[in-house]
Amino acid sequence: MSKVLIPFEGIGKYRLYQTVEDTVSMLQEDGDSFVEELWLNEDLTNPVPWTIIRTASGMNMFFAKNKMFKIYVDGVFSGTLPNGIGIGMKMSDAVKADANIKYDDWEEDWQSPDGYWLEDDPSNDTVLTITIFIRELLNDELFEKYNW
């Protein structure tokens, strides 16, 4: 499997907008163990349940209405974004790799208009997680309509 996180697309054969069933089938085929969670989101304005698949290989895939809308990876994952940003990289180097990423005080993460977010570890100033997602997630109002 490719270990490149492509914003707005996916990781290798794991593609954004893919169904839960297709994803589970591919994970089983790859021998990647996983657990599934269900978040009911009852407290949201539009309470659409989310299915989350957490894999042993460090991928966490989020689905709404049976479509994958977000993948975040953590310390177990060894891949990178196309610009070379990866888990464990110094944030100063990540900012050099993409001058467009900006820190968001409200979300407490680094956001790129190019389709990814970075969470940093303030204790050592390194990239802790990387999230890629569908284009609709750049606009909360559009995303929360779930018409994608």
**Which tens digits make up the pLDDT trace of 96-142?**
999 999 999 998 999 999 999 999 999 999 999 999 999 999 988 88
CA atoms within 13 A on the CB side of 3: 12
- C-alpha span between 99 and 1 (Å, rounded): 29
> Is the model's pLDDT at 2 over the cut of 60?
no
Q: What's the confidence (pLDDT) of residue 1? A: 47
pTM value? 0.92
The CATH fold assigned to 5-143 is protein yfey like fold (2.60.460)
* Residue 71 · residue 133 · CB < 8 Å: yes
Domain ranges across the chain: 5-143
pLDDT, averaged across the chain? 93
How sure is the predictor about 29, in pLDDT bands with cuts at 50, 70 and 90?
very high
- Which residue has better confidence, 47 or 17? 17
pLDDT digits (tens, 9 = 90+) for 57-98: 999 999 999 999 999 999 889 899 999 999 999 999 999 999
